[in-house]
Amino acid sequence: MNQQIKLRTASALLTLLALPGHAQTPQAPARTPIAENTGPNVTITHRASGVYRYETISDGRVRGEERWQFLAHPDGSRTLMVWHDLAARNAQFTVVLRVAGNFRPLEAFVNYWNGGAYKGSGHFVVSGDKLFAHSTGPSGPHNATVEVPEQFSIGTHPVAGDGWHTWGADPAQRGAQSGLLYAVEASTDVTKPILGTLTPIPVEFIGPESITVPAGRFETWHVKVAGMNDLWITPEDRLVIKSVIPARDLQYVLTEASGELR
């Protein structure tokens, strides 16, 4: 008897729920297949990615790593996306850089943690002879406009973009050549906004060199930047294969690479 009552009650509830005005289980909408591009992405002419190991020269102590992705576009411009994990200083930087076909900066975005604290973010846009900067962080919002020359670069601190500081120098000319760097503030002092200042940066092309790193063997240009930083960069896209700063007992070595490192 009890079982029959339960069945009749369940049947009545199902009938009630089916009446208009009562909630029903929603039916999944029909899915329309997404059309896929069957050819290559025309916004990318070639690409590459890699990983650097941060270490001391003297004893090979690992200090952190950096992961990057590079894209070249049909108008000649280039994009770098970088994530830098400097565990030795409790620092984490996320950076996007865009440059024109001749490597003149177009735009940069940075987001910094340093010394275990959030530093803030910055957005930098170049238009003609002006660089427009906007920073937000613990110190509040800040804006600045800086006049910039034709030849300059933006220094955001991860290693992957350091080869782009060399674009205004002539590889055929020997000796240090004058350069100009818009150096972005990235210290552990969170009261300082993430803005930049123009500072001289000499660049010296030493010559072509073939070097071997854990990621493989590469044909490079050996360049010295700021009188203290030896860089080995690819000739076309100026991607860093190895960076050494002997005075600070530091080096940055490419351990993984894929794509076209030109």
Residue pLDDT, tens place only, 58-117: 999 999 999 999 999 999 999 999 999 999 999 999 999 999 999 999 999 999 999 999
Residue 97 and residue 158 in contact, taking contact as beta carbons nearer than 8 Å: no
Structure tokens at 20: 């208009």
pLDDT by residue (tens digit) across 35-44?
A: 677 778 999 9
Strands, E assignment, 57-152: 62-72, 78-86, 91-99, 105-114, 117-127, 130-136, 142-147
Q: Is 7 a residue whose pLDDT tops 60?
A: no
Residue closest to 126 by CA, chosen among 142, 102, 150: 150
Mean pLDDT of 198-219: 97
Calculate ∠ Cα 153-119-227, nearest 5°: 35
**What confidence score (pLDDT) does residue 5 get?**
45
All structural domains of the chain, each given as residue ranges with its CATH number in brackets, are 46-259 (2.40.360)
Please report which confidence band the pLDDT of residue 188 belongs to, taking 50, 70 and 90 as the band edges: very high
pLDDT by residue (tens digit) across 132-187?
A: 999 999 999 999 999 999 999 999 999 999 999 999 998 888 899 999 999 999 99
Residue closest to 148 by CA, chosen among 132, 161, 166: 132
Q: Is 12 a residue whose pLDDT tops 90?
A: no
**What confidence score (pLDDT) does residue 36 get?**
73
Residue closest to 147 by CA, chosen among 133, 169, 131: 131
pLDDT by residue (tens digit) across 19-56?
A: 455 545 556 667 777 667 777 899 999 999 999 999 99
**What confidence score (pLDDT) does residue 28 get?**
66
**What confidence score (pLDDT) does residue 40 get?**
85
pTM of the model: 0.84
**What confidence score (pLDDT) does residue 125 get?**
98
Q: How far apart are the C-alpha atoms of 135 and 124, rounded to whole Å?
A: 9
3-class secondary-structure state, position 227? coil
**What confidence score (pLDDT) does residue 10 get?**
47
Q: Is 11 a residue whose pLDDT tops 60?
A: no
Calculate ∠ Cα 38-44-45, nearest 5°: 105
Structure tokens at 207: 């010559």
Structure tokens at 226: 């700021």
Structure tokens at 147: 């006049």
